[in-house]
């Protein structure tokens, strides 16, 4: 089979229960919204291939259960992620406060140079808002992480959020490739080509992490 993409990026959605992680993913992967979502149990992922500056980038986006109790399981999936979306719900103060805990969680479990982004979801529910956009921006400045408010329901900024994260990963990867003096090193970046399949005995997780 012909190669269908140039890069494979593994992304992860995390955040408190009910902030809309699955809805954001559904909006991005299917461009649809369903009012009767169910809570995520365990872990799942969806795929979408996007075009980024002429390159086909396959995004494999993992969706996790939000409740703290399940973190021991979900953190197993942090390793190997190249980008993480931290999601809170602008109508839920607690979910915003917890972003700090989620960041700590990432620091403990994900690779150090993982690209991060904060999403304030449900910004269509203006009447119920508890967290102002300014506070979201402040937090982002504090942690040096990009931030955007989204609405999965109204399809607002979801696309651009994923594109931005993907673009940042790509830029970081290409920078690393350039830095590597050995041109052969350029091929061992954080991507795997479709047409060189499971020959490698190393773990899938390590294949995907940035070197």
Partner 1 sequence: MSRSSSLEDIPDQCKDLFTQDGVLLKACLGRPVTDLNSIGMLCIVQNPDQTKSIEWRPNDLITIDSDAQDQEWAVVNTIGITMSFAKGRRQRTLSGNITSDYATARARIIKISLDELKTFRVTRNNQQMQFSTKPGVWQTTFYFQHGNAEIFVAYLKNHIKTAKTRHDRNTYVVVEPNIESQVLNRSFAELDIFTENTTDVVWNLMSNLRQRPYETTMEAFSKLTDIVYYGNEGMNGKRDVSEEVADLLTKSMSAIEDSTTLTRTDEYEVISVKPTLPPRPSIPRGTPLSTEKWDGLQDTEGRVTEVEGVKQLIFRGGVAHSIRQSVWKYLLDYHPWHMTHAELRALTKKRTEEYFSMKLQWRSMTEGQEARFSEYRDRKSLVEKDVNRTDRTHPFYAGDNNPNLVILQDILMTYVMYNFDLGYVQGMSDILAPLLLLLGNEVDSFWCFVGFMDKIASNFDMDQAGMKLQLVQLQQLLLFASPELAQHLAQKDSGNMYFCFRWLLVWFKREFSYRDIMRLWEVLWTELPCANFHLLICVAILDAEKDILISKDYGFTEILKHVNDLSMCLDVDKILSTAEGIYHQVVSAPHLTDQIRVILGLPTLNISTSTHSESEQASTSKVENGTDRNERNMFGQDMDEGTLEYNGIQISIVTKTVWALLA
Chain-centroid distance of CA 118 in Å reads 10
For residues 149, 132, 96, 49, the Cα torsion angle rounded to the nearest 10 degrees is 0
Contacts of 3 (CB under 8 A, 6+ apart): 193, 194, 195
Q: Does 36 bind partner 1 (CB under 8 A)?
A: yes
Find the binder of partner 1 among 72, 144, 181, 182 (CB under 8 A). 72
CB of 34 to partner 1, least distance (A): 5
Note whether 87 and 14 are within 8 A (CB): yes
CB of 98 to partner 1, least distance (A): 11
Q: Does 141 bind partner 1 (CB under 8 A)?
A: no
CB of 184 to partner 1, least distance (A): 25
**Largest distance between two CA atoms of the chain:** 56
Find the binder of partner 1 among 1, 2, 41, 112 (CB under 8 A). 41
Note whether 29 and 19 are within 8 A (CB): no
Q: Which residues bind partner 1 (CB under 8 A)?
A: 17-18, 29-39, 41-45, 60, 65-67, 69-70, 72-73, 76, 92, 94, 123-128, 132-133, 146, 148-149, 151, 154-157, 159-160, 164, 198, 203-205
């Amino acid at each position: 089979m012909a190669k269908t993409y140039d890069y494979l990026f593994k992304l992860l959605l995390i955040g408190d229960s009910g902030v809309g992680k699955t809805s954001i993913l559904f909006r991005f992967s299917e461009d649809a919204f369903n009012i009767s979502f169910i809570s995520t149990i365990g872990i799942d992922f969806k795929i979408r291939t996007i075009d980024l500056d002429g390159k086909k980038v396959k995004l494999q986006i993992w969706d996790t259960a939000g409740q703290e109790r399940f973190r021991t399981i979900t953190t197993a999936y942090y390793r190997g992620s190249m980008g993480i979306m931290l999601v809170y719900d602008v109508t839920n103060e607690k979910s915003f406060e917890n972003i700090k805990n989620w960041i700590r969680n990432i620091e403990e479990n994900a690779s150090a140079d993982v690209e991060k982004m904060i999403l304030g979801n449900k910004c269509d529910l203006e009447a119920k808002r508890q967290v102002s956009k300014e506070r979201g921006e402040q937090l982002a400045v504090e942690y040096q992480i990009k931030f955007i408010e989204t609405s999965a329901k109204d399809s607002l900024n979801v696309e651009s959020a994923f594109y931005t994260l993907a673009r940042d990963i790509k830029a970081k990867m290409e920078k690393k490739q350039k830095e590597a003096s050995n041109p052969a090193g350029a091929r061992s970046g954080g991507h795997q080509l479709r047409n060189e399949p499971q020959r490698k005995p190393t773990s899938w997780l390590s294949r995907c992490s940035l070197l």
